[in-house]
Amino acid sequence: MKLLFTLSLFLIAQMSIAQSELAKRNGFKDIKLGMLADSVKGAVFKKEIVAHKEFPAKVYEVAHPEYAKVGSVPVKRIELKTYKGLIYEIIVHTDKDPQIMRGLEKSYGKAIYSIRMETYYWTAPDTLSLIFKGHNKHLALTYRSVPVIKMMYADKGRKIEEIAEDF
């Protein structure tokens, strides 16, 4: 019984360390969630989109030698999605390589697998999530900022209140 209790405490401690590491890094290399897209080296505006079917957002693509590899694995493409200039999503496309998953699990601990979405993910509550999805020939790592997404929905709520006040 004591062994089970000790093992449980160890696992909880490992998960909190991994979550705090994810929150501490807050993005990919020096591209941080919540920062201005204009301050990212090599970021080039690509197009305007409608995020979550209702929010005006912009997509940037990043091409800079500092982001060309993750360890020895080549990075194919990096996309940034922004709301009001703030990065709320970073998508890193790499070659399919098992080293990526091993590196992520070493940094952030064991991933949670979602059967419904067929993805692995890590979360740092109220901060960010990291989603790992394998495709036929490449991998996609998606970092999402919880505070910026909450800001999007808060802005929507304010617009609705303004409309309601006009009646």
Q: Which tens digit of pLDDT belongs to each residue from 81-96?
A: 999 999 999 999 999 9
Share of the chain above pLDDT 70, in %: 87
Label residues 55-74 b or e (16+ Cβ within 10 Å = b).
bebbbbebeeeebeebeebe
Domain extent, residue 25, equals 2-166
Number of domains in the chain: 1
List pLDDT tens digits, range 15-54: 444 457 899 999 999 999 999 999 999 999 999 999 988 8
